[in-house]
A and B are shown apart, each in its own frame.
Chain A
Amino acid sequence: NAGVTQTPKFRILKIGQSMTLQCTQDMNHNYMYWYRQDPGMGLKLIYYSVGAGITDKGEVPNGYNVSRSTTEDFPLRLELAAPSQTSVYFCASSPLGVNQPQHFGDGTRLSIL
């Protein structure tokens, strides 16, 4: 089982560049999430989706955009990269059910220079 797959694993961007972080899951989960994790910190929710065509903002959405055209895919877009967006980005998914845990991808380590 692939689970949650994130690409790329590492990326270095210049200030002002744009990029899309890819996330796909093969578990048919309804819910998908994007988090960022800064060094020594917990996870901050950027955006989440409860199903195809439905997305909503989390705690730290500024500078990011998402889309959810299919159940499987939930890409995260950075339009104008800034040094403050240097972080590790995790995508997660979970099935229906209040007691269902989130399944995380391996993360994308992004540096903005």
Chain B
Amino acid sequence: GQNIDQPTEMTATEGAIVQINCTYQTSGFNGLFWYQQHAGEAPTFLSYNVLDGLEEKGRFSSFLSRSKGYSYLLLKELQMKDSASYLCAVRGSSGTYKYIFGTGTRLKVLA
């Protein structure tokens, strides 16, 4: 079967660094996306990985290991506005345009 696992909830302090993990088992792999979703709002795109390694975008970085079926999103210098859910999504085999989403990780940033 196809499955994506993420921790349900995490808490961190303003100014700190937090790592949100995502493990996946899918039939084929054609890229992994991270989205941020504030409560009551639509998801917005954060990052994309298709090759092994780290992609950095300002305070946000995302890492991928295809052999381990593992990714993480790293958030640095946490701000209160980073309190949101973070969704991991995998695009399946080449030729398919479907995405499988994890259940999301709710991050609470405390002052």
> Which A positions have Cβ atoms within 8 angstroms of B?
31, 33, 35, 40-45, 48, 50, 58, 90, 94, 98-99, 101-107
Contact = CB atoms under 8 A, between A and B. Distances in A.
Given A42-B87, A50-B97, A58-B98, A102 B45 contact: yes
Contacts of B104: 41-42
Contacts, number: 53
A11 B100 CA distance: 27
Nearest to A91: B42
Interface residues of B, number: 25
8 contacts: A40-B106, A45-B100, A94-B97, A98-B31, A99-B48, A101-B33, A101-B35, A101-B48
A41 B106 CA distance: 10
